[in-house]
C-alpha cells in the first residue's frame, strides 16, 4: 500500500503518519482503532472525524493520543498549540 499524503485535503502530521503506518502493519482499520480507544476511554467521544482531526493536528487530545499509543503500542506524541483535551 502506498500512502500519498499530498493528495489529502490536510496533510497528516508525523504522529498521524505513525498511526497510519502502525495500522497498516497490524492490518487494522481506523474503525477498529476507534472501538479499541472507546474500550479504554468509554466516557470519551471519538469518531472518524475526530480521529482524522487528531491525525492532521487540527485538534489535540492528550487523553485520546495516550489511548491510541497504548492500543497501537507506539511511543510517539505530536506537538500542537491547539489543545482540546
What is the secondary structure of the chain as a DSSP string? ----GGGSSSPPPHHHHHHHHHHHHHT--HHHHHHHHHHH-TTS---HHHHHHHHHTSS--HHHHHHHHHHHT-------S----
Grid coordinates of 73? 503500542
Q: Is residue 27 part of a domain?
A: yes
Q: Is residue 65 part of a domain?
A: yes
pTM of the full structure: 0.79
Enclosing domain of residue 63: 11-72
Q: Is residue 78 part of a domain?
A: no
For residue range 48-81, what is the model confidence (pLDDT) as tens digits? 999 999 999 999 999 999 999 999 999 876 554 3
Q: Is residue 42 part of a domain?
A: yes
For residue range 69-78, what is the model confidence (pLDDT) as tens digits? 999 999 876 5
**Domains contained in the chain, number:** 1
Residues for the chain: how many in total? Answer: 85
Amino acid at each position: 500500500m502506498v500512502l500519498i499524503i499530498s493528495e489529502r485535503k490536510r496533510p497528516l502530521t508525523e504522529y498521524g503518519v505513525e498511526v497510519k503506518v502502525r495500522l497498516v502493519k497490524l492490518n487494522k482499520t481506523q474503525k477498529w482503532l476507534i472501538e479499541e480507544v472507546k474500550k479504554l476511554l468509554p466516557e470519551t467521544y471519538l469518531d472518524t472525524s475526530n480521529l482524522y482531526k487528531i491525525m492532521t493536528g487540527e485538534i489535540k487530545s492528550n487523553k485520546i493520543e495516550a489511548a491510541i499509543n497504548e492500543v497501537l503500542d507506539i511511543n510517539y506524541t505530536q506537538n500542537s498549540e491547539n489543545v482540546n483535551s
